[in-house]
Structure 1
Amino acid sequence: MSRYLLATLLTALSLTACAQSPAPTAATAASKPTATTADDAAIEARVRQSLGELDPDFSPDYIGAAPFAGFREVVVSGQVLYVSDDGRFLMQAQPYDISKRAMATSDGLLAHRRGLLAQVPADQRIRFVPPNAKYTVTVFTDTECGYCRKLHQDIAELNRNGIGVEYLAFPRMGPGSQDFTDMISVWCADDRRSAMNNAKAGQPVSARSCTSPVAMHYELGQKLGVNGTPAIFAADGSQLGGYVPPAQLKAALEKLGPAAR
């Protein structure tokens, strides 16, 4: 399902939400038993059936237990949705975990993201990684966005703090744009790091062509729900937002602990 169709459907859902039956109270929801492993296949089947009734073209990339009871976490065209185990209720908003002071994310979703990011080999990334880096983040970037350039100016400080940066291409204007063509030229350069440095400094990008991974990176970013740049992912699959100052990024990685290394 395309992002446009998904957005249209979810907008329609939000407009008709007032016509739905009242949601169960907290007390009622709490009284329901948590699904066991034996129930998971049946619950997933119900969720798939419900989504299919909304739109036959719904094709989830991932369905797993949500980080709170009674719901499945569903990824469709990179967007994270939550569907009740009985297939009746759908929510768009990502919940906030009060105890962790962070957006709630399940282990299953993090593993799904790690699997997608692992599809990109090291030689298809543009790496600014110091020796013995404590953390390495994957950053979807393009050559033109202001905050991407601001983040690139922080590379030296990030490296001094033991944080390596591995770039993947996400030209925001999409295939056929000059941005997309420039990103191909950067990845086709003999010295990709220098080409990236020059592009981030606003210098003209020398036209180059080759069999590049830019289109694959762009498609991967969409599967991960990237809709703007920069988009920073920790090694455990956590999305850390857009531009984050070095001190805050270091603190966020330290909070995630060893899983983010």
Structure 2
Amino acid sequence: MKKILTALLCGVAVNAMAGDAAIKSQLKTLGAKSIDIKDSPVSGVKTVVTDKGIIYITEDGKYAFQGKLYKLTTKGPVNVSGKFLMDKLNSYKNEMIVYPAKNEKYVVTVFMDITCHYCHLLHQQLKEYNDLGITVRYLAFPRGGMRSETAKQMEAIWTAKAPVFALNEAESGRLPKEVKTPNIVKKHYELGIQFGVTGTPSVITSSGEIIGGYLKPADLLAALKESK
């Protein structure tokens, strides 16, 4: 993404009033992949979701900027950028490892790594989160990248016949003996990159807001109430 933005800001631009196809073509030459162009809430600006994250480009293709886009409301700023990725995130619901709350009030999606100390702390307190009405859904985010042994172990967990049991076993120190090519994990990892995840656990609200790393159950509940 730095390569893309550097080139753009140094004067690389598509023709005036560029169409989506021209913008895609230009970004591909700069190394971007999986390019999805959408309208944005800002007049004259397009939202471009790439494999490296979200950038915004003016409709004439001359200017681009990267970062979170917020809508200012009377209740405070609302992260609009995350909302563009929520449809994609929710399309992975059948690949998530889910710990549902009986009296569900909130749903969070957590990018986690089985070697992460704070992910382990969160997992140990799942019952407390659930008792507060918080459903926890896990996606895989191996911090060491896709070539790591952890990525292959997490693939074995997420594709097990009983993924919840497999994850509970791993969190108890009994890692899977077999490893697999991390195909599903790769999808999760790339989505995490698009959200701007740099560490684990990263907690995503149902509106697409990242509200931090590990939070104790009561603190997470407070943060969710505040983010409404």
Instruction: Output the TM-score relative to the length of structure 1.
Output: 0.67
1:207 alignment partner, SS class: coil
The number of equivalent residue pairs is: 220
Work out the percentage of aligned pairs sharing the same amino acid. 34
1:239 alignment partner, SS class: coil
Q: Which runs of 5+ in 2 are unaligned?
A: none
The match for 1:205 is 175
The match for 2:2 is 7
The match for 2:55 is 81
**Is 2:42 the counterpart of 1:72?**
no
Aligned mate of 1:63, from 27, 33, 38: 38
2: CA distance, partners of 1:81 / 1:190: 38
**Is 2:142 the counterpart of 1:171?**
yes
2: CA distance, partners of 1:12 / 1:86: 16
**Is 2:108 the counterpart of 1:137?**
yes
8 Å CA contact 1:74–1:83 kept in 2: the answer is: yes
Aligned mate of 2:126, from 155, 179, 183: 155
- What is the CA deviation profile of residues 206-238 of structure 1, one whole-angstrom value per residue up to 9, with x for unaligned ones? 313579733443344345444432222223333
2: CA distance, partners of 1:215 / 1:93: 23
**Is 2:79 the counterpart of 1:104?**
yes
User: Quick check: which one's helix share is greater?
Assistant: 1
Q: CA deviation at 1:177?
A: 1.4
Cα distance change, pair 133–54 in 1 and its aligned pair in 2 (3 A):
closer
Moved over 6 A (4+): none
1: CA distance, partners of 2:115 / 2:21: 40
**Is 2:204 the counterpart of 1:233?**
yes
Deviates more, 1:245-254 or 1:210-219: 210-219
Q: CA deviation at 1:134?
A: 1.5
Deviates more, 1:76-85 or 1:236-245: 236-245
Instruction: Output the TM-score relative to the length of structure 2.
Output: 0.75
The match for 2:88 is 116
2:211 alignment partner, SS class: strand
Code of the aligned partner of 2:130:
N
Superposed CA RMSD: 3.3
Cα distance change, pair 93–225 in 1 and its aligned pair in 2 (3 A):
closer
2: CA distance, partners of 1:8 / 1:120: 29
**Is 2:44 the counterpart of 1:49?**
no
Aligned mate of 2:163, from 192, 202, 227: 192
